[in-house]
């Protein structure tokens, strides 16, 4: 299982939210590159970078943080938040992201996303599936759609997407444990791709549980910053 530490950015700083609520913002480090270098030093080869300003504004905003992390570490970066048009996609790739993470846009503008998959290569995108009660949420998790997560993922795997991560919004930032049953269901339905879990990881036992059920990866954020999991503990599960 691959451990993917997360760095969420507001105003160029490393923060975390609870359930996507910007009013719950907590700043953990003024310097995201410092955080990224700690992850790199601990042996992690990939980082999940989220531009929360971009997600709110509807345009990529913290691309300079991406440029720093991609340019000054050896980690592969997946970057999401505010990617709404081709100019945003180009900014993200030019700034050094290995993958662009697309969530809301894949719901709202399927034709445009499929165009990008063909234009840039489907392997360069990661699908972000944020869910509440197994239905896709969009717009920074503020709006729940009627789209079932299984239908959403199935549609884009058929378009060539090779990876996705799934966040149960009701779990995110609460440190109450991941959505194990949901991930099991996704693994049964989509055995051809690794399921990357996100949200709710509160301690190393949660990571062990995700490995046990066969998750291909797990994105870990708040538990690291709140010192509930050490990087050393995570190293044992990372491959």
Active site residues: 8, 130
Judge contact between 97 and 67, C-beta under 8 A.
no
In whole angstroms, give the CA distance from residue 40 to residue 71. Answer: 13
- Look at residues 67, 117, 68 and name the one whose alpha carbon lies nearest to residue 93: 67
Write the DSSP assignment of 101-129 as a string of letters.
Answer: EESHHHHH-HHHHHHHHHHH-GGGEEEEE
Judge contact between 163 and 193, C-beta under 8 A.
yes
In whole angstroms, give the CA distance from residue 140 to residue 30. Answer: 23
CA distances from 91 to 8, 61, 64, 82, 170 (A): 18, 10, 10, 11, 31
Question: What is the bridge-based pairing of β-strands 143-148 and 135-138?
Answer: antiparallel
Q: Read off the tokens for 173.
A: 């930032």
């Amino acid at each position: 299982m691959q451990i993917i530490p997360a760095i969420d950015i507001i105003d160029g700083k490393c923060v975390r939210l609870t359930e996507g609520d910007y009013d719950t913002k907590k700043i953990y480090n003024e310097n995201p590159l410092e955080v990224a270098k700690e992850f790199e030093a601990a042996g992690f080869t990939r980082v999940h970078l989220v531009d929360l300003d971009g997600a709110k504004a509807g345009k990529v905003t913290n691309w300079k943080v991406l440029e720093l992390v991609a340019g000054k570490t050896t980690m592969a970066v997946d970057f999401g938040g505010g990617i709404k048009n081709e100019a945003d996609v180009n900014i993200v790739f030019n700034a050094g992201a290995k993958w662009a993470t697309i969530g809301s846009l894949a719901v709202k503008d399927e034709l445009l996303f499929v165009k990008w998959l063909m234009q840039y290569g489907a392997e360069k995108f990661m699908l972000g599936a944020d869910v509440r009660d197994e239905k896709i949420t969009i717009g920074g998790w503020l709006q729940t759609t009627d789209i079932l997560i299984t239908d959403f993922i199935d549609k884009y795997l058929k378009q060539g997407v090779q990876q996705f991560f799934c966040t149960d919004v009701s779990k995110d930032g609460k440190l109450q444990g991941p959505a194990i049953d949901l991930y099991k269901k996704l693994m049964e339905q989509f055995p051809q791709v690794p399921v990357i879990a996100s949200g709710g990881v509160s301690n190393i036992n949660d990571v062990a549980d995700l490995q046990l059920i066969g998750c291909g990866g797990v994105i870990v954020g708040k538990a690291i910053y709140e010192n509930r999991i050490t990087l050393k503990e995570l190293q044992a599960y990372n491959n």
